[in-house]
Amino acid sequence: MTTSRTNTRLTSLAILAGLLTLVACAPEPSDPAVTTPTPAIASPPAEPEPEPEPTETPTPTPDTVSADEAGQLCLDNKSPWGSYVPTGPPVAHERAIEPRWFVLIPGENEHGAGFIQCIVSADPNAEHVVDSSEIYGENVTDEYIEWALSNNPTGL
């Protein structure tokens, strides 16, 4: 019986030694030489996307005239006023349309109180003071100002 037991032990040891040898010779999982094959999926070759055509984005031109500058431009444009003399600071109203500014300057002449009115453009390529004139004070109402903000008064 000892022989049989010895033979079983020797066989077990031989099997264990063989397994250890196989494990020792097996490649490491992080071994770069060992790759796991991936199944190839047939797909049509990808067509390169066409290069987008460069588009020229216009650089927005900032308004070149502020409300204060519009008032000053109106003050500086004295020739069409006739005999009106400014009696107060200019008030520039921003319009919904171009030319951008509607400017009123309180003034008076030999006929009484009134206003100097100007339409001033903020467009850098246009003449800034588009038009100017005098208007009697009683004609400058809130309704007139509202109207002038969205219309181009003729005769200015």
Output the pLDDT for position 91.
Answer: 96
Q: Is 8 helix (H, G, I), strand (E, B) or coil?
A: helix
Q: When comparing pLDDT for 144 and 82, which is higher?
A: 144
Calculate mean pLDDT across residues 130-143. 87
Could you tell me which of 6, 124, 125 has the C-alpha nearest to residue 65?
Answer: 124
Cβ 111 vs Cβ 126: under 8 Å: no
pLDDT, tens digit, 9 for 90 and up, residues 48-72: 666 655 544 434 445 578 999 999 9
* Higher-confidence position of 66 and 39: 66
Question: Which is nearest to 93 in space by CA: 105, 80, 102, 83?
Answer: 102
| Beta strands at 91-94 and 112-120: parallel, antiparallel or unpaired | unpaired
The rounded percent of the chain whose pLDDT value lies above 70 is: 54
* Cβ count near 93 (within 10 Å): 15
Choice between 2 and 103, residue whose per-residue pLDDT is larger: 103
d(CA 94, CA 121): 10
The domain limits of the chain are 67-150
Per-residue pLDDT of 92-121, as tens digits, reads 999 988 889 999 999 998 889 999 998 998
